[in-house]
Amino acid sequence: MPGNPDGDKSYSGRLCAGFHFLSPFPVFCWHNISGNVMMIKKIKFTDERGIFMEFRAKTVAESKVETVHIIRPADLNDAGRLFGGVLMQWIDEVAALVAKRHSQMNVTTASVDNLRFLQGAFQRDVIVIIGRVTHVGNTSMEVKVETYVEHTDGKRDLINRAFLTEIGLGEDNKPATLPRLILETEEDRKEWERAEMRRNLRAKQRKEGFHFYGE
């Protein structure tokens, strides 16, 4: 099969596809003339039929986002706690950044579910929000967003966990095919499996008439 690992340089060798134990998708590898094997994250090639094809994949770490906020008076509700609507905006922004990094295209939030407020936060608290991709389908991806209060000693207390479904949009502003997700660690794989369970649960709930925020 003609082609090369990055579409820019020429290599002598052969392309193969198989499954890696930490990946739910076929993994492309390039065997060079020295017998070395490397995993390919992006490849453009023309198959035996003369059809141009492109394969893309990214790791979880490549799109991870971490933001920091200091709670100000304008962020508080009447009870003196962080207003839930403000936190939801921050969470949505982080999820969108994660999705944009993974897809390298515009995205839109399709749904938010399992938004759990575990404890409150107050003025001058330092809020750390971490987002990462947990699952990628054809045109949609799940992003896990966790929110912490960070104390002066560096300790972090989890105050919120949410899962958002983001849709990648092509140049025509319609859903577009996303890069595959490379699961590098056992934790990445566990997150994928848990995301599959949530995806199946959402599908079941939709059949029962339940709708998620954002739909």
Looking at the DSSP assignment, which residues form a beta bridge with residue 126? 70, 150
| Residue with the larger pLDDT of the pair 71 and 19 | 71
Query: Which residues have C-beta within 8 Å of that of residue 16, sequence separation ≥ 6?
Result: 28, 29, 30, 31
Nearest alpha-carbon partner for 15 in 142, 23, 7: 7
Report strand pairing: 180-182 vs 126-136. unpaired
Give how far the C-alpha of residue 178 lies from the chain's centroid of Cα atoms, to the nearest Å: 11
For residue 13, pLDDT over 80 is answered with no
How many Å apart are CA 92 and CA 103, to the nearest integer?
A: 16
Give the separation between CA 28 and CA 36, rounded to whole angstroms.
14
pLDDT for 124-140, tens place per residue? 999 999 999 999 998 99
Q: What is the pLDDT of residue 74?
A: 97
Do the Cβ atoms of 73 and 128 come closer than 8 Å?
no
Question: pLDDT value at position 38?
Answer: 45
**Strand order across the 180-182 sheet:** 42-46, 52-59, 180-182
Contact yes or no for 145/91 (Cβ under 8 A):
yes
Between residues 24 and 99, the one the model is more confident about: 99
Q: Give the Cα separation of 104 and 57 in Å (integer).
A: 12
**3-state DSSP assignment of residue 103:** helix
Kindly report the pTM of this predicted structure.
0.75
Which residues are CB-contacts of 146 (< 8 A; sequence separation ≥ 6)? 129, 130, 131, 158, 160, 161, 162
The terminus-to-terminus CA distance of the chain in angstroms comes to 43
Contact (Cβ atoms closer than 8 angstroms) between residue 145 and residue 158: no
pLDDT tens for 152-188 read 999 999 999 999 999 999 999 999 989 988 888 899 9
Q: What are the structural domains of the chain?
A: 13-50 (no CATH), 60-207 (3.10.129.10)
Torsion sign over Cα 72, 87, 136, 188: positive
Calculate mean pLDDT across residues 92-96: 98
Question: Which tens digits make up the pLDDT trace of 96-124?
Answer: 999 999 999 999 999 898 788 899 999 99
